[in-house]
A and B are shown apart, each in its own frame.
Chain A
């Protein structure tokens, strides 16, 4: 038997009263649901913003009823101005990357299931955990506040490149208080994530149940653990970067602003800073952030796939080592966002090689999934469909990375829709498929009720076909040279591409509308769904060994003991073709 940790005694008493139970809760399950709920609000906001953008791109002079009430200056008479388009784009990116793709798969599901999957009663630091959520909520509110200030939301994109983001309102609308709120929001968000990831690491290292060795942790536990190590380092860089940006904006420092800039006919009173410093700091965070979004989804999907296939992966160990290598390599590739930024062209080659190399562990993961499907008995459910859809999306988004990893091709494709297609598929859509797969899979455990499978499958088909219809054409647009972040393509080179843009916009409206099927299913099933048994999918990991929903201390005062690897499927057990992790039954040898 390898080393194991011993459970500590109860660290906190059962909560009493609505506020302690559901609002300022220390319970990791409630906090997980709070994160998920926040991500749900953010994803529907972000999606609405993308609808407005797609609408404006193809019908630039058409009115959006009611939008002038939200922003009389940004959309006078309901017609979106070019600067408001950039605000929508900035807020869409910020909401999606930070408040959806980080919150739901990592902070949300991770909080809920990581302690349960390792047999712990709660996180190592429940109070930090609560603070981390409330910091994240505060960050969200500060960001959204930017919609309601006279200056309007920021227009510098989710990447907030300096000096556009640093010199203040001389540079344009939204770059006064709007941009400051953005920087404050992201700084506070970083604090929340730092507390959260520290907690994940401590919990995984210290609170594993008896017999829960590292290699007996489910793949998604591993994914959350690796992600929390990445997040701890990445957000620790973004936080000071945002503080420096705020100092440039508010205290007259010049970290990112050089001398001699004339903005709106005014010579700026700054000297000595470097715009590239911001890009280095931002992407040093920004690239690992891609893996913060995608690795938890890789873990969730592997977990769901194994259960649906009724057999273990070809090798869980290889999958885990591949995730570790991706996590390690993710620190050496940030410069591939900056090939044409003016940094030393020799360094572009140095950044290119690890970027191309990262495709090796990514391919191993994909091949392990594919190879494991061979000879399986795949149970088709909404959860497994989204997991299979994820595999397809991961491949599609991954192969376009081959192009962008090469500096020579990036000269042509940089800042085109090709890039937008690439990161939406591999980071956005794929991670969202992971979240959706996890939702259909774990909803019964979280709520004690089943989701409607018919609606779930309908949701899958529209979303799967729809997202391909939206994002595959982005690659074609990029190859022709269609530039991103433009609010209009009417009077130039890109005008002939309008029919393709219209196709994309219509696909976006339909696919977005299908998400309301999901929302309805989620809310309706929460109150009216069929009661869920403890283990509806005949799964093996610890979360399925406890009631649905779990009691406040997860294991009802018992201390689980772990006897097996997490994925004993395709074996003869007393309950069927599987043996649970905490079941003392002996496995038939051979």
Chain B
């Protein structure tokens, strides 16, 4: 029965690795300037983890095949090198891996989090609330008016809590349900949560960041391919969580200007 274990484990290990090796399940296309670093890190880690996975499973299978239910009286023996060899192997193999992955991986993280947005980045505010995203563009004056939570009135389309009656800056703010952005221009996304925690995730942008109530965070990214992509909430936010989504629309600069003008007239 030890041999059966070895055979089944070998099949499981190879079958588990197969879809990865043939790239059956892969990330969707990357449309960001920083995403390739994340993808490379993911693929390097996959190679190392795959090696460790297959190595350990096949070794386990082999040893169980060879050393189970042996004849009575067969003497047990010990691995030459013993525990010292194991400890040294773990330190050398995994220690190197930890250092390599840990140090290399910092670069991809730094691209996203340690570089400030460019001064000419387009600022857009994103608000997450149960169960929709809304986006706000500052309008002609380039200024976002302050928010007044007590003025939020979704029935009348005041999703952010703007007060145009008393606030001059609020009068030209443009509020939309989709995030349209110009291609190849950095976007500085200011994130605001209206009620509970949410998250902003665009797979193709390789970006994920929580919205935290009471903590206004920001993100910056540049999209390099035109198209329409799903923005989804990935932080459990209540009964409509599964359906909380919006679209990211990457447009040429001209199309974006046209779109923004149209939206401005709709306000």
The interface of chain A, by Cβ under 8 A from chain B, is: 81-83, 86, 155-157, 161-164, 167, 171-173, 175, 257-265, 267, 273-276, 309-311, 313-315, 318, 340-342, 345-346, 348-349, 352-353, 356-357, 359-361, 363-364, 366-368, 370-380, 385, 388, 391-392, 395-396, 399-400, 402-403, 406-409, 411-416, 457, 461, 464-465, 468, 472, 476-477, 479-481, 483, 485-489, 492-493, 569-570
How many contacts between A and B, using CB within 8 angstroms? 318
Complex Cα gap A295–B50 (Å): 24
Is there contact, CB below 8 Å, between A262 and B212? no
B122 at the interface (CB under 8 A from A): no
Complex Cα gap A415–B90 (Å): 30
Complex Cα gap A457–B87 (Å): 33
Most B CB within 10 A of own CB, among A353, A374, A411, A492: A411
Is there contact, CB below 8 Å, between A171 and B195? yes
User: Inside 8 A of B147's CB, which chain A residues have their CB?
Assistant: 260
User: Inside 8 A of A476's CB, which chain B residues have their CB?
Assistant: 19-20, 24-25
Complex Cα gap A172–B38 (Å): 36
Complex Cα gap A576–B93 (Å): 39
How far apart are B249's CB and chain A's nearest CB, in angstroms?
15
B45 at the interface (CB under 8 A from A): yes
Complex Cα gap A359–B45 (Å): 14
Number of interface residues of B (CB under 8 A): 102
Is there contact, CB below 8 Å, between A377 and B213? no
Is there contact, CB below 8 Å, between B5 and A363? no
User: Inside 8 A of B98's CB, which chain A residues have their CB?
Assistant: 353, 356-357, 359-360
B222 at the interface (CB under 8 A from A): no
User: Inside 8 A of A162's CB, which chain B residues have their CB?
Assistant: 197
B176 at the interface (CB under 8 A from A): no
Is there contact, CB below 8 Å, between A407 and B26? no
Is there contact, CB below 8 Å, between A273 and B214? yes
Chain B: CB-nearest residue to A460: B5
Is there contact, CB below 8 Å, between B90 and A363? yes
Chain A: CB-nearest residue to B86: A367
Is there contact, CB below 8 Å, between B213 and A163? yes
Is there contact, CB below 8 Å, between A377 and B210? no
Complex Cα gap A167–B213 (Å): 12
Cβ contacts B235-249/A at 8 Å (1 or 0 each): 111111111010000
Cβ contacts A to B, 17 pairs, < 8 Å? A161-B197, A161-B236, A164-B237, A167-B196, A265-B154, A318-B86, A346-B114, A357-B98, A370-B86, A399-B52, A402-B48, A403-B46, A408-B106, A409-B108, A415-B234, A476-B20, A480-B25
User: Inside 8 A of B197's CB, which chain A residues have their CB?
Assistant: 161-164, 275
User: Inside 8 A of A171's CB, which chain B residues have their CB?
Assistant: 130, 195-196, 238
Is there contact, CB below 8 Å, between A340 and B63? no
Complex Cα gap A130–B57 (Å): 42
Cβ contacts B74-107/A at 8 Å (1 or 0 each): 1111110011011101110111011001100111
Complex Cα gap A585–B234 (Å): 63
When A and B form their complex, which 5 residue pairs have the shortest distance between CB atoms, in order from nearest? A258-B214, A375-B77, A315-B83, A408-B108, A83-B239
Is there contact, CB below 8 Å, between A371 and B57? no
Complex Cα gap A364–B12 (Å): 23
How far apart are B133's CB and chain A's nearest CB, in angstroms?
14
Is there contact, CB below 8 Å, between B241 and A486? yes
How far apart are B234's CB and chain A's nearest CB, in angstroms?
4
How far apart are B241's CB and chain A's nearest CB, in angstroms?
7
Complex Cα gap A259–B203 (Å): 31
Is there contact, CB below 8 Å, between B68 and A378? yes
User: Inside 8 A of B56's CB, which chain A residues have their CB?
Assistant: 366, 370, 395
| With A409-B42, A461-B8 as contacts: A259 and B214 at CB distance below 8 Å | yes
A172, A414, A477, A486: the one within 8 Å of B25 (CB): A477
Is there contact, CB below 8 Å, between A376 and B230? no
Chain B: CB-nearest residue to A341: B210
B37 at the interface (CB under 8 A from A): yes
Is there contact, CB below 8 Å, between B67 and A378? yes
Chain B: CB-nearest residue to A399: B49
Complex Cα gap A472–B78 (Å): 33
How far apart are B232's CB and chain A's nearest CB, in angstroms?
6
User: Inside 8 A of A400's CB, which chain B residues have their CB?
Assistant: 49
Most B CB within 10 A of own CB, among A313, A412, A468, A480: A412
How far apart are A207's CB and chain B's nearest CB, in angstroms?
30
Most A CB within 10 A of own CB, among B24, B27, B91, B212: B212
Most A CB within 10 A of own CB, among B37, B105, B129: B105
Is there contact, CB below 8 Å, between A414 and B234? yes
Chain A: CB-nearest residue to B67: A376
User: Inside 8 A of B25's CB, which chain A residues have their CB?
Assistant: 476-477, 479-480
A357, A396, A481: the one within 8 Å of B28 (CB): A481
How far apart are B215's CB and chain A's nearest CB, in angstroms?
6
B59 at the interface (CB under 8 A from A): yes
B12, B49, B68, B161: the one within 8 Å of A262 (CB): B161
Complex Cα gap A49–B101 (Å): 38
A167, A370, A396, A468: the one within 8 Å of B59 (CB): A370
Complex Cα gap A476–B26 (Å): 8
B253 at the interface (CB under 8 A from A): no
| With A340-B210, A415-B201 as contacts: A82 and B83 at CB distance below 8 Å | no
User: Inside 8 A of A376's CB, which chain B residues have their CB?
Assistant: 63, 67, 76
Chain B: CB-nearest residue to A489: B242
User: Inside 8 A of A315's CB, which chain B residues have their CB?
Assistant: 82-83
Complex Cα gap A171–B198 (Å): 13
How far apart are A504's CB and chain B's nearest CB, in angstroms?
13
Is there contact, CB below 8 Å, between A374 and B78? yes
| With A476-B25, A480-B27 as contacts: A380 and B238 at CB distance below 8 Å | no
A360, A367, A472, A481: the one within 8 Å of B95 (CB): A360
Is there contact, CB below 8 Å, between A370 and B238? no
B residues 30-77 in Cβ contact with A at 8 Å: 37-38, 41-42, 45-46, 48-50, 52-53, 56-57, 59-60, 63-64, 67-70, 74-77
Is there contact, CB below 8 Å, between B213 and A342? no
Is there contact, CB below 8 Å, between B12 and A465? yes
Is there contact, CB below 8 Å, between A375 and B76? yes
Is there contact, CB below 8 Å, between A360 and B5? no
User: Inside 8 A of A402's CB, which chain B residues have their CB?
Assistant: 45, 48-49, 52, 97, 101
Is there contact, CB below 8 Å, between A483 and B201? yes
| With A276-B215, A411-B207, A461-B8 as contacts: A359 and B94 at CB distance below 8 Å | yes
B259 at the interface (CB under 8 A from A): no
User: Inside 8 A of A409's CB, which chain B residues have their CB?
Assistant: 38, 41-42, 45, 105, 108
Is there contact, CB below 8 Å, between B102 and A406? yes
User: Inside 8 A of B76's CB, which chain A residues have their CB?
Assistant: 309-311, 375-377, 569-570
A173, A367, A415, A488: the one within 8 Å of B242 (CB): A488
Is there contact, CB below 8 Å, between A265 and B196? no
A265, A414, A465: the one within 8 Å of B8 (CB): A465
B12, B69, B74, B85: the one within 8 Å of A371 (CB): B85
Is there contact, CB below 8 Å, between A378 and B87? no
Chain B: CB-nearest residue to A160: B236
How far apart are A245's CB and chain B's nearest CB, in angstroms?
14
User: Inside 8 A of B105's CB, which chain A residues have their CB?
Assistant: 352, 406-409
10 further A-B contacts with Cβ under 8 Å, apart from A276-B215, A364-B86, A371-B82, are A164-B196, A371-B86, A375-B77, A378-B69, A379-B69, A391-B60, A408-B105, A477-B25, A488-B242, A493-B28
User: Inside 8 A of A86's CB, which chain B residues have their CB?
Assistant: 236, 238-239, 241
Complex Cα gap A395–B150 (Å): 53
B152 at the interface (CB under 8 A from A): yes
Most B CB within 10 A of own CB, among A155, A156, A276, A388: A388
B2 at the interface (CB under 8 A from A): yes
How far apart are B151's CB and chain A's nearest CB, in angstroms?
10
How far apart are A321's CB and chain B's nearest CB, in angstroms?
9
